[in-house]
Every structure is written in structure tokens, then in C-alpha cells.
Chains A and B, each alone.
Chain A
Amino acid sequence: MSYTQKEIIDLVRPTKVHRKVYTDPEVFDLEMERLWAKTWIYIGHESQVQDKGSYITLNYGKVPVVMVRDTDMEVHVLHNRCGHKGVKLVDKACGKIPAFRCCYHGWRYRLDGKLLGVPYMESYEDTAFNKEDPQYSMQKLRSDSVRGFVFATMNADAPDLRTWMGGAADVMENLCDRAPDGEVEAAGGVLRYEHECNWKMFIENLNDMMHPMVVHRSVVECARDYIKTLPPDSPRLDEAEILLPFGASYEVMNDSITGFKYGHHYDGGKTSIHADYTLDPEYAAAMKSAYGEARMNEILSFNTHNTLYYPSLTIKSAIQNIRVVRPIAYNKTIIETWSFRLKGAPDSMLKKTLLYSRLINSNGSMVGPDDLTAYFRAQQGLESEASDWIEMHRHFGKDEVLTDRVIGKGTSDLDVRTQYTAWREYMTVAA
């Protein structure tokens, strides 16, 4: 790697960042090594591996891993790699197995990754090969979960998951508290959307509250135009409730952004683009009977927009939808959209979550493709050397710095500054 420590430090200034953080493949490789491998990465939700032997596969950065439910019901995250010749052991998105068995030479592993058997062991007689040597087992990643959301890290020295999340954990708690039974489960599948842009462009857009009224103006205007053609006493439209707030003014978007150590942040709190959704009466009744009215109101009035668990997970507690960032190359990223069912809530709640995911995040939606157009044009535009710097001045110097968090206006660049503070720290530690 040709970047010196100083050159990495110099890529990020308090109010600007160098274009190479998006355009240089070498920076991407360093990010995978120093940032992604060193922090907690979202793997999946425990509800995706409900039975013994159930597994899901994914890439942690560039590394293939598998999340699996063991016979004692513990969940492990393992390197998806045979200890023999490195062959991926399972290659479906999800499945169920009694044990891992390699398709090449038939090596078998327990669900916790321990090597069980090697065919024709006689052939290793009088050699130094020792089946019990842990290097021949599937390697386990350090993993932990919050309310069923499983994260893993390749860094033995990373802080524990809760400490790492800090105050941003409140939103994950809130997402789950919105279930009358206090639990959520992944439901309704996933959409995988290829983005021709650097992974950071996607997460930097999440709490960029200056873009919706520009990027999403067309769909908001078209929805308004259509509604005008309907008779005045027409029933309320879920589609309108979801789409119209994307056209909210700068003033409405200005509630607040709260940033945390390690790059996490959320937008809103008192209000958000989700704040005016009609409360389903059947859901309200279930919540009231589960929590009592005061606690129910407390849960439902914590209104955030997007919450980022830097760098891999972004959640929307108010609509129970999450997006997961899977970087492929400096200019290619896969964004997964998952929806969650609130246990104990009527089916109408999941239906609305799926409507949201489809209307806003689907490859066929009228919102996501306009965001993506801005990202890939930025990816292309930043090849220009007209200027090396991307500014992030907005409300700089006006953030309120508390012991565990930084709070600024909703239209602040605080979210991006928070990310790059963390980025620089990860990228320069023990290089």
C-alpha cells in the first residue's frame, strides 16, 4: 500500500474530504482491511436462522461468512471456507443442514465449525497433519446481538457491541419496542439492489436532509397532481402518506441530527418524515394492552428518520425497514432492503412496511433510482480533478457537544463529519 499514515490523515479535514476516498481502489482495499475488518458489521437477524442447522450466507466486506443456528440453539458466525482447500462450504443464500460438508473432498464440520471428519484418514498416516489442529476447523468470528440483530467483527479488541452502539442503540430498542410482544422478525424477503457507487455515498445520503425536496420533487409533485384528480371525500391513501413527506421543506427537515462515537447517527427524534402516519387502531389497541397508554405514547413518539450503525446497517424504526450495505468495489455496492414484522401486531403493519420498502427502496420504485442517479453521477463527476475536495461545512461550529453525543440541526453536515471522524480513526490505527 502506498498511502502513508500522514497521507491518510490528510484525506479528511474538519469541513472537507478528499475525492480519493470515493475514487481510489487502493483506499477501498484499505477500508476493508482497517475499517470493515476492525468494526462491528451487521450479519443478519436471528429470526432468519430459527431452526437447528438453518443458515444464511453473506459477505463480510470481501470475506464469505455464514450465520448458523447450532444444535444448542446458539448462533455462530463462521468463515464460509473449508479448512482443507478453502472451498466455500455453503453457497445458497439460505438453507438448512445437519452439518457442513465440503463439495470437493467431503470434509465435514459441526455447526459450530469444528472439523468432524476427513475421508480416508489413513492417507495422512505418518504425516504432521493433525485433524484436531484448530487451523483445519471453520474459523469463528466474534459475534454478539442486540434484540436479535446479529453483528460480527474480526477484531478481538473491538469494544463490546452495546458500548460500540452507544446512544444509537436507543433506536434499535425502539424498533423492537414497537412490537406489542417486544420482538421483531425478518419477514417478506429481501431486495438486492446494485449501486454503481462507493458505499459511503449511500450512507452519507441517509441523513442528508437537504436532498429529498430536490431529488424526490418529481414523485411528490406527481402524487399531488394525481390526488387533485380524486373526489375530495376520497379515502386516505397509504401511498400518499408515505410519498408526500419526501417533499417536506428545509424547515420541517430541521429537527435534529444526533451523532455518536464510531460514526453512528440518527436524524429526528421529536419528528421525522414518518411522524404523521395514521395509527392503525387495531395496532394501537395491541400496544396499549401490552404497554399501557403512557409507555405506548413514549414508544410511538420517538420519531427518527434513518439511523446509521456505521458502516453497514441503517434502520428505520418507525416503519420497520432496514437497509444493509455490502461493498463490492470502490465504485460498486449492493444495498439490501429487509422488512420486519412486529410480533403481536396485526398483519396490516407488515403490509405497510412492505409497501414502504417497495415504494421507496425497490429497484422498480420512484424514489431509490433518483437517489442512485445522484450517487453514480457523483462517482463519475469526482473523477474530475477540478477540485480535490468535497465540502461538509453546513452548521459547522454550531453543534452541541455532550459527553456521549453531538447534536445539531437536521440540515447539518454533522452526520458526515461524524462518519469521517470515525473513518480517520479506524484508518490510521495500527496500520
Chain B
Amino acid sequence: MGVVAISANKQEEIERFLYLEASYLDRPDLDNWIDLYTDEGTYWMPAIPDQKDPDNHISLFYDDRVIMEVRRRNFVHSAAASKDYDVRASHIISNIQVTDMDEETGDCTVTSNFHCWLYYNDKQTPYAGRYTHELISDGLSYKIQSKRVDIINCDATLNTIIIYI
């Protein structure tokens, strides 16, 4: 995928938006996080490298608004035993590149590399990989139309992934 040349301002605006999303997942604060998504927004974590689509192959996550809304509530529900343990994360995002840009609307596709350390149930687990964000611009900021999270060990034996990465 090619890289689109954009202004430094635009680049910074996009980076700020990705950092904001990551900061909500660091805490994690799913109530604010979900507001960054459009109503049709999706969060997808494929289960194999280069997975073509989420419909004909299993994924680790493929959440539309319905599942995001359930997950947001479940994450803080007192009866969910798996949520008895603190969840803390630290995301680092880098190599942020705009690979597609609609000059008229400002909508764009952004890829980036991430490292995320996730602390949960007395264990600290590293996740690393690549994000692909499809962003919708409203002129002032962005909403996420889709976020694809390719972790480099997506097809390995994994334990519980308690929260969005």
C-alpha cells in the first residue's frame, strides 16, 4: 500500500486522534472510546495474517455497534467474574502513515505499528502488530469507521484477551 503525502498539520491531527483512542484503551474507558466510532463502526482483530474478511473466517474480535455496546456494559458489570481483575494497558503507536486520503472529505486510511502491554490477573502480556484505521472526517476531528488490529501472533495459542487492544 502506498503512502500519501500530507501536510505536517494533517499528520499531527491524525496522530493526535490515534493517541486519544489509545489513551481511552490504556485506562480502559470504553464509554468514551465507543464515542470515537461511527454508528456503523467496527473493531476487527483477525485470527490469521492477511485475513481477507471477517465473515468467512473466524476472528478473535469482530465487533459492530451491537457487540461494542454489550461489551462496554459488560466490562464494568459486577457479575462478570473475568472482570474481577484490574485491567491496565500501555499503548505505544508509531510509524503512522496515511495510505489513502479523500481530498474532498478528508476521510482517510491510516496504518500504524503498535506495542501494547496489558496487565490483567497478575500477568503482564505484550501484544504487538499493526493497526489499520479508516477515519471519517467531520472537518474538526475524526470518527472511526473501522479499526483492524493485526497482532503478530494472531494464529498462535492465546489466552483470554480481556479488552480491545
Contacts and interface: CB of A to CB of B under 8 A. Distances in A.
Contact of A372 (B45, B61, B160): B160
A32 interface: no
Contact of B73 (A215, A226, A374): A226
A221 B60 contact: no
A373 B120 CA distance: 12
A217 B83 CA distance: 13
Nearest to A377: B81
Contact of B66 (A93, A221, A237, A350): A237
Contact of B70 (A187, A189, A223, A368): A223
Nearest to B160: A369
A191 B70 contact: no
Contacts of B84: 373
A347 interface: yes
Contact of B58 (A93, A218, A225, A357): A357
B48 interface: yes
B47 interface: yes
Nearest to A357: B58
A192 B156 contact: yes
Nearest to B73: A222
A187 B156 contact: no
Interface string A316-355: 0000000000000000001001010000000100110010
Interface string B134-165: 00000000000000000000011111111000
A393 to B, nearest CB: 24
A221 B82 contact: no
A63 interface: no
B47 A359 contact: no
Contact of A194 (B60, B159, B162): B159
A364 B58 contact: no
Interface residues of B, number: 34
A192 B55 CA distance: 19
Contacts of A219: 70, 74, 77, 80
Contacts of A217: 79
Nearest to A351: B55
Nearest to A222: B73
A190 interface: yes
A246 to B, nearest CB: 12
A374 B79 CA distance: 12
Interface string B54-87: 0111111110001101110110011111111000
A363 interface: yes
Interface string A359-391: 100111010111011100100000000000000
A329 to B, nearest CB: 14
Nearest to A350: B56
A193 interface: yes
A189 B80 contact: no
B48 A189 contact: yes
Contacts of A215: 81
A347 B77 CA distance: 35
B66 A239 contact: yes
Contact of A363 (B62, B77, B78, B158): B158
A169 B74 CA distance: 37
B52 to A, nearest CB: 11
A288 to B, nearest CB: 25
A368 to B, nearest CB: 8
Interface string A285-319: 00000000000000000000000000000000000
A95 interface: no
Contacts of B160: 193, 363-364, 368-369, 372
A222 B62 contact: no
Nearest to B51: A189
Most buried by B among A189, A359, A377: A189
A354 B74 contact: no
A413 B6 CA distance: 65
A364 B60 contact: yes
Nearest to A326: B157
A358 interface: yes
A188 interface: yes
A77 interface: no
A243 interface: yes
26 contacts: A188-B57, A190-B58, A192-B156, A193-B158, A194-B158, A215-B81, A218-B83, A219-B70, A221-B77, A221-B79, A222-B70, A222-B77, A223-B70, A226-B66, A226-B69, A237-B66, A347-B56, A350-B56, A351-B55, A354-B56, A362-B59, A366-B74, A369-B160, A369-B162, A372-B160, A374-B81
Given A354-B59, A363-B161, A364-B160, 20 more contacts: A93-B155, A188-B57, A190-B47, A194-B158, A196-B159, A217-B79, A218-B80, A219-B70, A222-B73, A222-B74, A237-B66, A350-B56, A358-B60, A359-B67, A363-B160, A364-B60, A364-B61, A369-B160, A370-B81, A370-B82
In the A-B complex, the 5 residue pairs with the smallest Cβ-Cβ separation, listed nearest first, are A222-B73, A218-B80, A218-B77, A369-B82, A192-B157
